[in-house]
C-alpha cells in the first residue's frame, strides 16, 4: 500500500521516505474516487521513480488522468534545473513527440450539420489518411523535410495549407526554436517523409463535435465558442519520425547513466544532463519532431477544411472554421518558472500533460462516447505545476482488458444507437480498445484540475462523428 | 512454458516470452511482438502475397557493442520493427545464428504483405526498456517486454 498523505480534497503527496533515492516528494492531483483507481494501477510507483531524476525541482507531479506508462507515468510533469545537474529524459517526453490536440471552431450549428453528418464523416474518413503506418499524399523531399523540422506549421502555411492566424493560435506559433535536423538519424528521416497530414492509429482521432455546455460565457466568447456550435478536434503527433528519434536517443542515453553516474530505478528513465552534449543533441532532435507534429496537425486542418468546403459548398473562412488553439501534450521545454521566489530556466517535461499558462486555452479530449473540454489556464498552474494541467481522460482499462470487456459487442453500432454518434475506423480492434468505458470520466478529471485552481472549465463538447485510425 | 504470451498494461501492451536458450528467448520474443501487431494466433500471413516467389530470406545484422542482454533484446526487436515498418513484410521465422556482446546475426524468411487488407490489430510505436528484465532459471530464460502502442 502506498504511504499517501492527503493534503486536501485534490492533492496527495508521496513522501520521499516512500522509496530511498527520491530527491523530491511526489504530488498527485486527484479526487477521492480517482485516487482509489490510481493506487490500483502502477502509476504512483512511476511518479516515485521520476523523483530520482537529478536536478528535479519541487515535486514529481501527476495529473488526475495519470495512468501506468513506461518510465514516466502518463500524466506526469517533471521540471529539472540545468544549473543544478538537471537532466532531460527522452522517456519523459515519450515516443510520440508532440502528440497533441487542436480545436477548430465554426459558425455552423448542430442543425446545419446533422442532416449532412454522415456525408461529412464519410468524406473526412476518405480524405484524411489514417490507420497503422498510414502514408499521405503530402510527400516531401529531404530538403523540404528539413524545412518542416525547422519551421514546423509555418511550412504548411507557406505551402498554402493554412494562414498566419492559425500559427497565432498554436503553442509556440507551431515551431520551437533550436531544432537541428543534423541531429536526426537517416532512419528517422525515412520514416518521416510521407507522413505529413496523416492521423495515425490507436488513440488518435478526428472528431466533429458540438458545444453542449458553457461554464464561463465570457471566456468562451473570447475563444469564439457558443452553445450549439459545431467544432472539430484533431489528436495526432509526429508519427514514425518521433518514434524513431525517441528510440534512437533512449538507446543512446541508456549508456549515459553510467557515464554521468546517474541512478534511476527504470532504464526507460535514461537521461543525460541538459547541459551535456547528449542532452543538447536530444533537445535539438526532439524539437524537429515537435515541429513536424505541429506541421502534421496543420496539414490535417487543411484536409479537414477542404472537406467542409466541399460538403457545405462554402469557403472555410466563410464557415468560420478557425483554429481555437493547438497544444502539445508530450514535450520537454525550456521555460522560466519561479522556484522559491527566484526565476529560473527549467527543463519542463510534460508526458501526457498540457501546458496551461494563464489565459491559454487548454484542450482536453475525452473518450469517443462522452465529451471533451476546453479549459483556460490559471495562475495556480504557474505556482504549482510549472504551468501544466491534465491532457485527457486517461485510461482505466488496459487495451486487452477493454477488448475482453467488449467481446461480442459492436461498439460503433452501440454508440450510434445510444447517442447518434457516427464512427468510422480503419482498424476494427481499435474500437474495442478505445471504447468509452476504457477511459476515466473526463468530467471527473477536469473537475480536479478546475477545483485545484490549475485551469478553469470553459466549455464542454460532445462527439457527433469520429474518425479513428 | 509458453513460447510467449501477451500481457496487459494500462496504457500499453507487453509480452512475456521464454526459451531454453537465450537465442530461443530472442526468437520467441520476436514472435510475441508480431502477435501483438497481428493478434494472438495470427502472424499476418493472412495478408501474404499468394505468389510463392515473394518469399525471400532476409538477414538481420546488428553490429554494436552491447553488454546487457536486456539492451540487446531491445535493439533486436526494434530492428525487426523498423524493417517491418519500412518494407511491409512479415517474418515467417527467425533463426539467430550468433548472439554476442558485439551484436546479433540472424536469418529470417519474409513475405510481402498487403497492408490495405486490414490485418494489423495495432501499431507498435516502439520497444521500451520499461520493467524489462531477463531471468534465468533451470528451465532456461524468460523476459517481459512492454511496447508503446
- What does the pLDDT read at residue B116? 62
Q: How far apart are CA A346 and CA A382, in angstroms?
A: 13
What cell was used for A372?
Answer: 471533451
10 Å CB burial of residue A17 (0-12, 13-18, 19+) is exposed
Which residue from B28, B32, B41 is spatially nearest to B13, judged by alpha carbons? B32
The pLDDT-based confidence of B118 (bands split at 50, 70, 90) is: low
Please tell me the number of Cα atoms within 13 Å of A10 on its side-chain side: 17
- Edge-to-edge strand ranges of the sheet holding B56-63: B56-63, B103-112, B89-100
A430, pLDDT greater than 90: no
- What does the pLDDT read at residue A1? 47
Please check whether residue B65 touches A, CB under 8 A: no
φ, ψ dihedrals at A299, nearest 5°:
-65, -40
Q: How far apart are CA A116 and CA B123, in angstroms?
A: 32
Work out the average pLDDT over A115-127: 97
Please check whether residue A399 touches B, CB under 8 A: yes
Q: Compare all CA atoms of chain A with the CA of B124 and give the residue at the minimum distance.
A: A132
Residue of B47, B128, B131, B145 for testing the chain A interface, max A β-carbons within 10 Å? B128
Cβ contact A399–B122 (<8 Å)? yes
User: Pick from A94, A202, A244: which is nearest to B123 by CB?
Assistant: A202
The predicted-structure confidence for B39-90, as pLDDT tens digits, reads as follows 876 655 555 555 666 788 999 999 998 889 999 999 999 999 999 988 888 8
Residues of A with Cβ-Cβ distance to B13 under 8 angstroms: 398-400
φ, ψ dihedrals at A131, nearest 5°:
105, 175
More confident call, B115 vs A54: A54
Active-site entry in A67, A235, A302, A391? A391
Q: How far apart are CA A199 and CA A138, in angstroms?
A: 13
pLDDT above 70: percentage of residues in chain A: 99
Cβ contact B8–A268 (<8 Å)? no
Cβ contact A70–B86 (<8 Å)? no
Q: How far apart are CA A424 and CA A457, in angstroms?
A: 30
What's chain A's average pLDDT? Answer: 95
Which residue from A469, A84, A96, A19 is spatially nearest to A264, judged by alpha carbons? A19
What cell was used for A443?
Answer: 468530467
Residue with cell 488496459: A398
Q: CB under 8 Å to B53, separation ≥6 — which residues?
A: none
User: Pick from B39, B118, B129: which is nearest to A270 by CB?
Assistant: B129
Q: How far apart are CA B94 and CA A269, in angstroms?
A: 30
Work out the average pLDDT over B125-139: 93
Q: Between the ranges A322-331, A395-404, B1-10, where is the mean pLDDT highest?
A: A322-331
- Shortest CA gap A275–chain B (Å): 24
The verdict on whether A391 is a catalytic residue reads yes
Four-residue CA torsion sign, A53, A56, A59, A61: negative
Please check whether residue B129 touches A, CB under 8 A: yes
More confident call, A399 vs A57: A57
Please tell me the number of Cα atoms within 13 Å of A391 on its side-chain side: 30
The pLDDT-based confidence of B92 (bands split at 50, 70, 90) is: confident
Residue with cell 459492436: A410
A380, pLDDT greater than 90: yes
- Rounded (10°) angle between helices A32-39 and A442-451: 120
The predicted-structure confidence for A61-77, as pLDDT tens digits, reads as follows 999 999 998 999 999 99
Q: Angle at CA B112, nearest 5°, toward B62 and B83?
A: 25
Cβ contact A70–B82 (<8 Å)? no
Q: Compare all CA atoms of chain A with the CA of B6 and give the residue at the minimum distance.
A: A400
Kindly state the helix (H) or strand (E) to which residue A301 belongs, with its residue range: helix A277-312
pLDDT above 90: percentage of residues in chain B: 58
- What does the pLDDT read at residue A261? 97
The predicted-structure confidence for A148-205, as pLDDT tens digits, reads as follows 999 999 999 999 999 999 999 999 999 999 999 999 999 999 988 888 889 988 899 9
Determine contact, residues B111/B55, Cβ cutoff 8 Å: yes
CA dihedral (A278, A279, A285, A290) in degrees, to 10, reads 160
Which A residues, 22 through 81, put their C-beta within 8 Å of a C-beta on chain B?
41-43, 67-71, 74
Q: How far apart are CA A36 and CA A101, in angstroms?
A: 28
Work out the average pLDDT over A83-104: 97
Amino acid at each position: 500500500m502506498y504511504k499517501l498523505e492527503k493534503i486536501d480534497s485534490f492533492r496527495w503527496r508521496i513522501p520521499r521516505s516512500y522509496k530511498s533515492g527520491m530527491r523530491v516528494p511526489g504530488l498527485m492531483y486527484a479526487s477521492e474516487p480517482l485516487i482509489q483507481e490510481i493506487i490500483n494501477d502502477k502509476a504512483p510507483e512511476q511518479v516515485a521513480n521520476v523523483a530520482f531524476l537529478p536536478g528535479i525541482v519541487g515535486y514529481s507531479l501527476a495529473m488526475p488522468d495519470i495512468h501506468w506508462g513506461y518510465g514516466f507515468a502518463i500524466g506526469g510533469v517533471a521540471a529539472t534545473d540545468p544549473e543544478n545537474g538537471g537532466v532531460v529524459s527522452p522517456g519523459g517526453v515519450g515516443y510520440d513527440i508532440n502528440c497533441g490536440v487542436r480545436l477548430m471552431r465554426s459558425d455552423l450549428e448542430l442543425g446545419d450539420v446533422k442532416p449532412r453528418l454522415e456525408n461529412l464523416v464519410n468524406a473526412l474518413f476518405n480524405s484524411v489518411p489514417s490507420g497503422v503506418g498510414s502514408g499521405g499524399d503530402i510527400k516531401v523531399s529531404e530538403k523540404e523535410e528539413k524545412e518542416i523540422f525547422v519551421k514546423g506549421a509555418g511550412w504548411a502555411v507557406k505551402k498554402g495549407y493554412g494562414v498566419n492566424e492559425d500559427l497565432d493560435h498554436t503553442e509556440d506559433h507551431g515551431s520551437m526554436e533550436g531544432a537541428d535536423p543534423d541531429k536526426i538519424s537517416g532512419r528517422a528521416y525515412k520514416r518521416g517523409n510521407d507522413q505529413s497530414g496523416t492521423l495515425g492509429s490507436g488513440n488518435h482521432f478526428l472528431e466533429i463535435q458540438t458545444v453542449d455546455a458553457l461554464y464561463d460565457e465570457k471566456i468562451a466568447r473570447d475563444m469564439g465558442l457558443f452553445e450549439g456550435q459545431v467544432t472539430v478536434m484533431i489528436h495526432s503527433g509526429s508519427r514514425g519520425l518521433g518514434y524513431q528519434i525517441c528510440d534512437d536517443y533512449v538507446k543512446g542515453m541508456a549508456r549515459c547513466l553510467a557515464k554521468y553516474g546517474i541512478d534511476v530505478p527504470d532504464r526507460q528513465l535514461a537521461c543525460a544532463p541538459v547541459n551535456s552534449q547528449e542532452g543538447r543533441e536530444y533537445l535539438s532532435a526532439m524539437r524537429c519532431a515537435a515541429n513536424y507534429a505541429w506541421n502534421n496537425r496543420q496539414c490535417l486542418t487543411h484536409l479537414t477544411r477542404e472537406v467542409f468546403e466541399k460538403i457545405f459548398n462554402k469557403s472555410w473562412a466563410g464557415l468560420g472554421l478557425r483554429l481555437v488553439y493547438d497544444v502539445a501534450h508530450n514535450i520537454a521545454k525550456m521555460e522560466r518558472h519561479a522556484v522559491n521566489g527566484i526565476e529560473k530556466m527549467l527543463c519542463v517535461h510534460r508526458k501526457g500533460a498540457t501546458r496551461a499558462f494563464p489565459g491559454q486555452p487548454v484542450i482536453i479530449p475525452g473518450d469517443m462516447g462522452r465529451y471533451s473540454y476546453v479549459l483556460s489556464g490559471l495562475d495556480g498552474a504557474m505556482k504549482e505545476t510549472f504551468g501544466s494541467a491534465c491532457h485527457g481522460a486517461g485510461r482505466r482499462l488496459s487495451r486487452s482488458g477493454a477488448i475482453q470487456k467488449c467481446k461480442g459487442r459492436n461498439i460503433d453500432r452501440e454508440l450510434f444507437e445510444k447517442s447518434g454518434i457516427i464512427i468510422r475506423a480503419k482498424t476494427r480492434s481499435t474500437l474495442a480498445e478505445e471504447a468509452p468505458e476504457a477511459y476515466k470520466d473526463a468530467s471527473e478529471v477536469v473537475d480536479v484540475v478546475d477545483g485545484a485552481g490549475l485551469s478553469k472549465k470553459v466549455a464542454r463538447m460532445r462527439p457527433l462523428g469520429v474518425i479513428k485510425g | 512454458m509458453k513460447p510467449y504470451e501477451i500481457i496487459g498494461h494500462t496504457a500499453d501492451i507487453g509480452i512475456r516470452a521464454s526459451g531454453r536458450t537465450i537465442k530461443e528467448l530472442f526468437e520467441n520474443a520476436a514472435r510475441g511482438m508480431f502477435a501483438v501487431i497481428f493478434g494472438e494466433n495470427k502472424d499476418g500471413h493472412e495478408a501474404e502475397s499468394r505468389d510463392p516467389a515473394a518469399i525471400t530470406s532476409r538477414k538481420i545484422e546488428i553490429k554494436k557493442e552491447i553488454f546487457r542482454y536486456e539492451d540487446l533484446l531491445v535493439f533486436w526487436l526494434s530492428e525487426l520493427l523498423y524493417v517491418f515498418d519500412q518494407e511491409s513484410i512479415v517474418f515467417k521465422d527467425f533463426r539467430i545464428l550468433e548472439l554476442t556482446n558485439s551484436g546479433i546475426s540472424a536469418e529470417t524468411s519474409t513475405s510481402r504483405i498487403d497492408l490495405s487488407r486490414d490485418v494489423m490489430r495495432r501499431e507498435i510505436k516502439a520497444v521500451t526498456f520499461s520493467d524489462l528484465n531477463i531471468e534465468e532459471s533451470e528451465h532456461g530464460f524468460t523476459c517481459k517486454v512492454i511496447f508503446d502502442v
